[in-house]
Structures are given as structure tokens and as C-alpha cells.
Amino acid sequence: MSSSPLPMAPAGSITLVQGIEVGHFTDTRRPTGCTAILAKAGAVGGVDVRGAAPGTRETDLLHPTNLVERVHGIMLAGGSAWGLDAASGAMRWLEEQGVGLDISVGRIPLVPAAVLFDVLVGDMRIRPDAHAGYAACQAASSAMPAQGNVGAGAGAAVGKIFGIQRAMKGGIGTASVTVDGVTVGAIIACNALGDVLHPDTAQVVAGARTSDGLGLIDTRRALLRGEPPQPLLAGTNTTIGVIATDATITKALASRLATVGHDGLARAINPVHTMSDGDTLFCLGTGAAGRSPGMMVLATMAAEAVAQATLQAVLHANRLQIDAGENHKALHLPSAADLQ
């Protein structure tokens, strides 16, 4: 156990990107929830799915060769596949605001979504639904979003490769980078199978714990020295998030920024993109800055924002204690601060 406090990531937020609003819904009945990332004026969209067990909705329309150019929000949710229903609530709310693709007889809000698996944390019968997605949109604003045990990160855990009983609390975090008046931000809900590392030092910040629960085992080194992982059910993890920029970009460039954003995940999570993760990153380009510093700079900014937002997710997480119930087991997930 280290005696020095963990360094916090630089200040920033995806809501510093012009045209982006964020709102959370956190279910008080068990730790789960959803997070709406809204671009009510519309934003060029892209996506890159790297995990082998994703849960997604409306990702095909984001392919650069497909018709639709702009979307109106992204929904991130817990609840595994059931959580995809939260996007329906976001569509309903946006339609009420007059937001969506004009089809002459009305408007269709376009809200791609991705989910993470948090149903081992408490009663799995409680999960985000359309009501939750609607409430997240109602709460959306350009203010600094809450981080840690809220929204899509409420039931997140990290470091489950040796069993969830040795895992730690994950969460949701945000960060941003601004260069010459252009901002790239990210919001990441981290429910990773692997450990979370500090992207600047490679120090393990949160993840699988030693058998006594008092320290970090360092999953990468443990696997390389031959410690066997616990048998895993595919899709029981997943880190999902959104990159946004106010730079002027095309749909193809939005997809490329989603791709390079995964470099940030690889700097902050190990192992990442596993057969039991559904790691998915979206990208939104509002164009509100009216210019671009070029893709080399934007790509560097995107990877940095993702890495730092992933770190923020666990640094802001609080410990979670769930007592045994009729439909769930007892669970203790310490926070990163608890092990310092």
C-alpha cells in the first residue's frame, strides 16, 4: 500500500465542448443508472467498438458511408442489454424539445447507445429504462457533470479478473483538453475487467486486489507470472464513453477520432479490449469552434482526454457496500482512496 496520495487528473469536462450537455440519472434502489450526452443542435457522429462483447444501439448509422450525417445525443447506461431502453426515453425527451432529423411529418431524434454490465451489483431486476433515459435528459446541462458513483458509472466495478469479490469500485469520469481555442473532451464509464492505471506513470490506481483485499495485485504482472484468471462470462464488464470536440470535422474524421480514443483506454486500462469487455467509444463533432487544428493534434487530444477521464472515473468513485438480499449476494467494493 502506498503512503502518497494519488495525483488527480487535470481539471476539465466534456461540457467545455461548445454544444454539449450532460445529464445523469442514478437509481436509488440499487447502484445503476444512465448518462445522456446531448448535442441538441446536432453533431457529426462516429463510433469504434473494440471489445468483443458489446451492447449497442444505432451504431451502424454512424458508419462514414451511411446516410445520416448528424446525431442528437448518445446514451450510456448500466443494466446490460436491458439498459439500451434508456435511449428510447432520450428520443422521447428530444422530440418534445423539437430536436431531431426533419422527416417533414415530424422529427426523429437519433440517439445511439452503449451499455455496460453492472447486474452483479445488487438486484439485477432493477435497471435503467426509458423513464431513466428521459430523466437523464431532463437533468442535462453544460455544467460540470458529477463524477464517480453516478449515472452509467453507479454500478461499475474494475479489476474483476480474479473474481468480483477482489474487485474495486469503478465509476464515470470526464476530462478535456483545449489547444488554440479548440476543445476535445471525453466522458468515460469505466467498468473494466482489467486494472486502471495512471496514464502518466503506469501506476495501478484501482483494480484486482490481493487475496487479503488490502493491496493491488497488478493484474498484468500476475497473469504473466502464471496466476490463472477466474472463469469469466463474456460481456460482464465493459468501458463505454463519448469523445466530443467543437472542431470542424467530417463524419469520417469523427470515426477516426473514436478509433484513436481507444489509445487512451489502452494507456489507462490493462488488460483492455478483452473477450469479456464490450469497450465502445463514440465521437461527436459540434463544429462550434468553426475551425480545426488538424487531425494530428485532435487525435492526440482525444487519446489524452479519454485516458484522463478514465482515471477520473476511479479517483472520484466512492466505496460501495451491499448487504446480501433475496436476489443478490453481499458485495464490498473499496475505492482507490481506500487503498492509499
| pLDDT tens digits, one per residue of 212-251 | 999 999 999 999 999 998 877 766 789 999 999 999 999 9
Sheet bearing 195-197, strands edge to edge? 204-206, 195-197, 269-270
Name residues whose C-beta falls within 8 Å of residue 301's C-beta, 6 or more positions apart in sequence: 177, 179, 184, 245
Tell me the pLDDT tens digit for each residue of 58-87: 999 999 999 999 999 999 999 999 999 999
DSSP string computed for 22-54: EEEEEETTTTEEEEEEEEEEEEEEEEEE-SSS-
Q: Would the pLDDT of 176 be above 80?
A: yes
Query: Which of 26 and 232 is assigned the larger pLDDT?
Result: 26
DSSP summary character for residue 239:
E
User: Phi then psi for 43, rounded to 5 degrees?
Assistant: -145, 140
| Mean pLDDT for all residues in the chain | 94
pLDDT value of residue 235: 63
DSSP summary character for residue 208:
P
Q: CA 101 → CA 86, 94, 109, 153, distances in Å?
A: 19, 11, 6, 30
pLDDT value of residue 239: 97
For the 14-339 domain, the top CATH level (class) is alpha beta
Question: Could you tell me the pTM of the whole model?
Answer: 0.95
Q: Would the pLDDT of 1 be above 50?
A: no
Q: What is the average pLDDT across 43-66?
A: 95
Whether residue 148 contacts residue 316, with contact meaning beta carbons closer than 8 Å, is answered with yes
